[in-house]
Chains A and B, each alone.
Chain A
Amino acid sequence: MGKTIAEKIFSQQSGEDVYAGDLVIAWLDFVMGQDGTAPLAINSFNEMGGKELFDPAKVAFVIDHSAPSPLEGVSALHKLMREFSGEKNLRLYDIGDGVCHQLVPEQGHVVPGDLVVGADSHTCTYGAINAFSTGVGSTDLAAAMISGKLWFKVPETIKFQCEGSFQPGVFSKDLILRIIGDITADGATYLAAEFAGEAINNMSVEERFTISNMAIEMGAKAGLMEYDQKVDQWLAGRSSKTSRPVSADPDANYLEIKKYDVSQLEPQVACPHTVDNVSPLSEIENMPIQQAFLGTCTNGRLNDLRVAANILKGKKISPDVRFIVAPASRYVYLEAMNEGVIQTLVEAGAAVVTPGCGPCVGTHNGVPSDGEVVLSTANRNFKGRMGNSKAFIYLASPATVAASALTGKATDPRSYLS
């Protein structure tokens, strides 16, 4: 019987011939923790009697969720991470380096065929480069740091076959929002998702990350894609690890195959307070906004900043809007600077903050006020997510966010990018 990508990676990593439903103990190629989860994992590691890491080269910590520290309590947790990283000789990405899910692939830690866990739910992002990666909690992370292994139930797979070409001004973010709206927040719980088809093949690797990143928002364990030349080129110069590309067999068994044609897709928006509350943008068009946020592990990459700069070049944002930009990493920040993208955004009125997660998770750098409306490129719009339970968060593509920052109200970006 043929296998899905998930079944192949778990077979390879457990040394057994396994299929969906089987329970495995599998070897991990990389493990990651961030400043919201690593401190608790350090405690668990010590309580478990952990002495050394299974392989320091396969472990990294990232300080990104509250970076730089806005509070004494946070500073103490960051210090704990720095001390542990020094003692155990693991790679620490400190404040300003970027968001973990940009850094892990960008710095070459993950390649096709890898099995990766991270103590952050959006670890599913690396599925875009053909790795099985999934989020775990701090105690699982501690067990992984000690043993280099974790137990898994091999998931069934739901496949999204995406054909057609996007209209100008419509992006991968719009597609994944539409899919989540259809499947709902728990429609893929315990399942792996595979995204395939012409529409995925035509995307850049960066656009693909946006899709895999949001697989967790429908409950999925991973958001997998096939390996291709674009992945190979993207990894060139980033990673010296050996790729082991994994392809689904033509006779693999899928729980369900869903077909999408992106050609007619309009810009989409996730309305408060759940990610699956998705409508076409047209339904909220002209709704006034007070804050626009461009960044995060979903949409803070170079192509996202470029799209926004294209819309905003030579223009000024609405005086009624605060426009916050957080490049996804130091590398992205520098590249965007070299291209003049940062200059364009700042001239248009953007407030650029340190690469990191702050505004998205409500720790600092842009907490909205009561009753305010935020249009954000992030992946979550839960009540209170940005630090105020009385604010309203809408999720959209970087193009929609930039066009709306310009006008001060929810705006279809297609007229700016045709």
Chain B
Amino acid sequence: MLLKGKAFTFGNDINTDYIISGKYKFKTLDMNELAKHVMEDLDPDFYNKINDGDMIVAGSNFGCGSSREQAPLAIKHAKISCVLASSFARIFYRNSINTGLPVVECDTSKIDQGDELEVDLQKGIVFNKTKSLEIPVTPLPDVMIKILEDGGLIHHFQKHGDFNFD
């Protein structure tokens, strides 16, 4: 699957409170509603600025803080196609794979706000079209590839009734 979109850049240590604030996430399970508030405390207009398929690009430790799965879900429901970061916090990374949000660990220092990006998840390649630059990607662990191939952990359990990585 080839993902295409424009880069929206953020800094280091973007925590899950910034991705979706606690004042919203305890109220509802309607992820389309939560999506409207994604990144609100960092950029109140973020949801209005993005188009379907655009990408969040960040520095280190993206998704640190709380374990709220509403964070990757709100990003996904905002129609962000992919999150690229130089590193991810552990729980967010796991939640993203479990819920089917593509997350890519790569050197994001050569991506600027507004750059046109193409991400090939199968081949593990990020292409910065604006800068004509190919960026290598840290491969996912095998277990995560299997969960992603099944379409997330819910579908993995629907299919196997349990964990099955053989």
Contact = CB atoms under 8 A, between A and B. Distances in A.
A151 B163 contact: yes
Interface in A34-76: 35-37, 39-40, 43-44, 47-50, 65-66, 71, 73-74
B65 A74 contact: no
A73 B90 contact: no
B143 interface: yes
Interface of B: 13, 15, 17-18, 21-23, 25-29, 41-42, 60-61, 64-70, 73, 87, 89-91, 94-95, 98-99, 141-143, 152-154, 157-158, 161-163, 165
Contacts of A265: none
Interface stretch (A162-170, A338-346, A377-385): A377-385
29 contacts: A37-B69, A40-B73, A66-B26, A74-B26, A77-B27, A120-B67, A135-B91, A137-B99, A140-B94, A140-B98, A142-B153, A143-B157, A143-B163, A147-B162, A185-B64, A186-B13, A189-B87, A189-B90, A219-B89, A219-B90, A363-B26, A380-B65, A382-B17, A382-B18, A383-B17, A384-B23, A385-B17, A387-B21, A387-B23
Interface residues of A, number: 55
A23 interface: yes
Contact of B91 (A47, A121, A362): A121
Contacts of B66: 36, 120-121, 380
Contacts of B69: 37, 40, 119, 137-139
B158 A47 contact: yes
A37 B142 CA distance: 27
A384 B163 contact: no
A149 B99 CA distance: 18
Interface string A142-168: 110011011101000000000000000
B73 to A, nearest CB: 8
Given A136-B67, A138-B69, A384-B41, A48 B26 contact: no
A186 B157 contact: no
Nearest to B61: A186
B67 A119 contact: yes
A49 B141 contact: no
A321 to B, nearest CB: 23
- Nearest 5 A/B pairs, CB to CB: A137-B95, A186-B61, A137-B69, A73-B27, A48-B157
A244 B152 CA distance: 35
Given A146-B162, A186-B60, 10 more contacts: A36-B22, A37-B69, A44-B154, A137-B99, A186-B89, A190-B90, A274-B13, A383-B41, A384-B18, A385-B17
